[in-house]
Amino acid sequence: MWCSGCGNGLVTGSLLRAIENLDIDTSKIAIVSGIGCSSRAAGYLNFQTLHTTHGRALAFATGLKMVRPELTIFVIMGDGDAMAIGGNHFIHASRRNIDLNAIIFNNNIYGMTGGQASPLTPQGEKATTAPYGAERNFDIMKVAVATGATFAARATTYHLPLLDKLIEKGVKNKGFSVVEALTYCPVGYGKLNKKGDATAMLNWYKENSIPVEKCTTVDHEGKITVGIHHHQAAPEFVEEYTRRTQGVKR
Ligand SMILES: Cc1ncc(C[n+]2csc(CCOP(=O)(O)OP(=O)(O)O)c2C)c(N)n1
C-alpha cells in the first residue's frame, strides 16, 4: 500500500537482512506494529505478526515478551505512533529496559492519514495541520537515552548497510533497543515542503548527515547524526521481574 518512491520498503529490507544475518530461528521472531503506513510492514512479513492499535504496539509487545521471553520481538512504529500517541508507552518501555527492538520509521509526518504534523516534524516545516510551520520538535535519540533505553541508534534510508548493522546490534543488546530509521515521505511531507522527488530526498539525507562519533559541536552543525548514540548495559525488565517473583506463593 506504500506510495511510489516511499522509503518504507528500504527500512523493511534492512530489517530482513538483519534477521538473516543474525540467523535466528524464524519461528522465534515476532513482529508487533501499531497503525500507520510503516506499521503495515508487519502484514508483508511472514513471521508471527501482530498488527495492533495506533500508539499501543509497545504495550502489546510488553505483554508478549512477559509471557514468551524466548522470542526476539521487533516493534515497528511510525514517528507519530511511537512518539505522539504512543509516547507514554515509549518512555515506560525504555525506563523498564524491556528486551524489545523498537524500529521507528521516522518520515517526520503522519503519512497514513494525510500529512498531519507529528512531534518529529522539524520546527517550521509544513504539515496539513501546521500550514504556518510546525511547533518545536524533539530528538528520538535524546528521549530514548534520557528515559533509560540501553541502545539507541539512528540511520537514514541513504545509509542502508549501516541500518542493517544497527538493527543487528540492537537485537544483541539485552534490553530496550531503539533504532530510528529516517525514511522520506515524498507524498505527505515532501510535496508540502518542496523537497523534490524521492531521489532528491535521498540525496538530502546523504548531504545532511554526519557520523555521530565525528560530531564536535553541540548542535552537530544542524546535521542528522547517524550511528550508535548510546549503548550501556542495565538489568533487563523480564529477567528482573522473574528473579523478584521467584518463590512467591500463588
Ligand atoms: C487511536 C487512534 N487515533 C488515531 C488514528 C488515526 N491514525 C491512523 S495512522 C495515524 C498516524 C500515522 O502516522 P505515523 O505513526 O507517523 O505513521 P506513518 O503512517 O507516517 O508511517 C493516525 C493519526 C487511529 N487509527 N487510532
Residue of 249 and 201 predicted with greater confidence: 201
Q: Is the CB of 99 under 6 A from ligand 1?
A: no
At 220, the pLDDT band (50, 70, 90 cuts) reads confident
CB contact burial 11-30 (16+ within 10 A = b; e otherwise): bbebbebbbeeeeeeeeebb
| pLDDT, position 148 | 98
| pLDDT, position 63 | 98
> What confidence tens digit (pLDDT) does each residue in 56-96 have?
999 999 999 999 999 999 999 999 999 999 999 999 999 99
Q: Is the CB of 118 under 6 A from ligand 1?
A: yes
Q: Copy the grid coordinates of residue 239.
A: 529477567
Host domain of residue 216: 8-242
Provide, rounded to the nearest whole percent, the portion of the chain with pLDDT above 90.
94
91 found inside a domain: yes
Q: Is the CB of 7 under 6 A from ligand 1?
A: no
Q: How many domains does the chain have?
A: 1
At 216, the pLDDT band (50, 70, 90 cuts) reads confident
247 found inside a domain: no
Residue 192 dihedral angles phi and psi, to the nearest 5°: -60, -30
74 found inside a domain: yes
Which atom number of ligand 1 is nearest to the Cα of residue 77?
15
**Cα separation of 72 and 86, whole Å?**
21
Mean pLDDT taken over the chain: 96
24 found inside a domain: yes
Evaluate if residue 135 carries a pLDDT over 80.
Answer: yes
1 found inside a domain: no
Task: State if pTM tops 0.85.
Answer: yes
| pLDDT, position 107 | 97
CATH at 91: 3.40.50.970
Mutate to test the pocket of ligand 1, among 3, 77, 81 (most ligand atoms within 8 A of CB): 81
At 218, the pLDDT band (50, 70, 90 cuts) reads confident
